């Protein structure tokens, strides 16, 4: 047979081998893709222990793995869920719960760290509380587990098995705000306290106005504002928090919520529905304590009650806020204007009617000084039992006549900007 009758046998054999390799490569790629991307999710019939362990390891990898690919990074972000840890891992992370940070009625908090050195705080809930502990656990995971904001504490994950129920948070090096407010040493400047107030307000504004579902905290107080290494605030402890639809005007709750001295009066009086504005009231009470660097309520030797918020209103009403700020509060001249503005914002926040209180986004603007705070009306009328009937009738409209934020502030040139312009023309 001549060479023109067809290709040489060795050529045919070579091409056949190459074609086979290509086909096998394509088949292998299809199988790999199906295994990696088309595998159905875990079902209840699968081994729960192995499923939890795998999910936990994936989540842990997200927290500390340095060399992850962009594709894996995007997959982990898409999951957007706290990690479920086993009790054994938490025991390892905390070195058998060696360092206790604090304790309370709901349980104990221990310091720990992940294998990459990232510090954590592990809150072990007291299971003896039964349903109460379960409700706190579900509230924390169901609310803070859905959020990401620089002024909200981050929930890394949780544990719930036959051994324990626990929550795993980022570790806050400087503890809670209360130890700096009520410490006679005054280890941080008042200007930093003002920044902490603004950061806390931004965290609450996010919960109320920016989340897909509004989150009501119900227990805003200095003990629940944590501070990182730079004293940046994080709102924490969502054990009483509740999700609600943004279009709902009020929520239905049973019983009293929050901490006496910070909880809004509508929890006891029943004059108004419970709304997210109860957090605004609590924040206002915290602002008073930031200005005074003291507890709002102090019982004197003769059993008389020294209530700082009422004192602030009386001095403001007489036009003597400046004397109180410089005298009783000991705030330096450079911060007195901010302190006076903070007092006015606090008085707005603690108005009797929830509708009269500003939203937290407006509170942020007023504290930052980008708007002019309008004079607040008298608060705490609910304390006057004689006027209670008149209060109900006077406020029966529930503030519906005021639909604009202009009642709290008016847009103006920021105070610092005015100062800069004056300096530039000198």
Residues annotated as catalytic (active site), given as ranges: 219
- Give the C-alpha separation, 411 to 153, whole Å: 32
Residue pointed to by tokens 């609590």: 282
Smallest Cα–Cα separation from 307: which of 319, 294, 323?
A: 294
User: Residue 404, exposed/middle/buried by CB under 10 A (0-12, 13-18, 19+)?
Assistant: exposed
Helices (H), 110-209: 131-143, 178-181, 190-205
The answer to whether 335 touches 326, Cβ cutoff 8 Å, is no
Number of residues written out for the chain: 426
DSSP H/E element including 109: strand 107-113
Cα–Cα distance measured from residue 143 to residue 136, given in angstroms and rounded to the nearest whole number: 11
DSSP bridge pairs for 152:
235
What are the start-end ranges of the H helices in 259-395? 266-269, 277-292, 308-317, 321-326, 336-349, 360-368, 388-394
Q: Decide: 55 and 84 in contact? Cβ < 8 Å.
A: yes
Instruction: Give the number of other CB atoms < 10 A from CB of residue 221.
Output: 21
């Amino acid at each position: 047979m001549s060479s023109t009758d067809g290709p040489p046998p060795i050529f045919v054999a070579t091409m056949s081998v190459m074609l086979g390799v290509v086909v096998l490569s394509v088949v292998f790629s299809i199988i790999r893709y199906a295994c990696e991307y088309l595998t159905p999710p875990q079902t209840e019939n699968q081994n729960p222990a192995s499923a939890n362990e795998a999910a936990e390891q994936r989540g842990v990898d997200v927290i500390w793995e340095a060399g992850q690919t962009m594709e894996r990074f995007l997959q982990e972000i898409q999951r957007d869920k706290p990690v479920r840890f086993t009790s054994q891992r938490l025991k390892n992370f905390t070195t058998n719960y060696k360092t206790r940070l604090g304790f309370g009625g709901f349980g104990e908090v221990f310091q720990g760290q992940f294998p990459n050195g990232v510090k954590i705080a592990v809150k072990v809930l007291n299971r003896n509380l039964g349903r109460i502990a379960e409700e706190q656990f579900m509230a924390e995971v169901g609310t803070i587990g859905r959020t990401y904001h620089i002024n909200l504490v981050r929930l890394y994950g949780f544990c719930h098995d036959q051994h324990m129920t626990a929550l795993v948070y980022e570790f806050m090096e400087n503890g809670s705000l209360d130890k700096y407010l009520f410490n006679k040493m005054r280890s941080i400047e008042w200007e930093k306290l003002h920044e902490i107030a603004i950061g806390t307000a931004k965290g609450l504004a996010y919960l109320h106005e920016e989340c897909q579902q509004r989150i009501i905290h119900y227990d805003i107080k200095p003990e629940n504002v944590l501070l990182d290494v730079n004293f940046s605030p994080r709102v924490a402890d969502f054990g009483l928090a509740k999700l609600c639809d943004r279009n709902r005007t009020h929520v239905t709750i049973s019983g009293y919520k929050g901490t006496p001295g910070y909880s809004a009066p509508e929890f006891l009086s029943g004059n108004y529905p419970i709304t997210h504005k109860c957090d605004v009231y609590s924040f206002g009470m915290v602002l008073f304590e930031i200005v005074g660097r003291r507890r709002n309520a102090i019982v004197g030797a003769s059993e008389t009650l020294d209530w700082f918020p009422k004192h602030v209103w009386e001095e403001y009403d007489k036009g003597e806020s400046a004397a109180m700020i410089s005298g009783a509060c000991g705030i330096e001249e450079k911060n007195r204007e901010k302190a006076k503005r903070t007092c006015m914002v606090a008085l707005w926040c603690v108005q009797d009617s929830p509708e009269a209180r500003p939203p937290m986004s407006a509170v942020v603007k007023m504290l930052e000084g980008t708007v002019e705070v309008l004079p607040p009306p008298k608060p705490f009328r609910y304390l006057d039992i004689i006027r209670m009937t008149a209060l109900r009738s006077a406020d029966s409209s529930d503030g519906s006549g005021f639909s604009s934020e202009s009642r709290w502030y008016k847009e103006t040139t920021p105070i610092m900007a005015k100062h800069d312009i004056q300096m530039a023309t000198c």
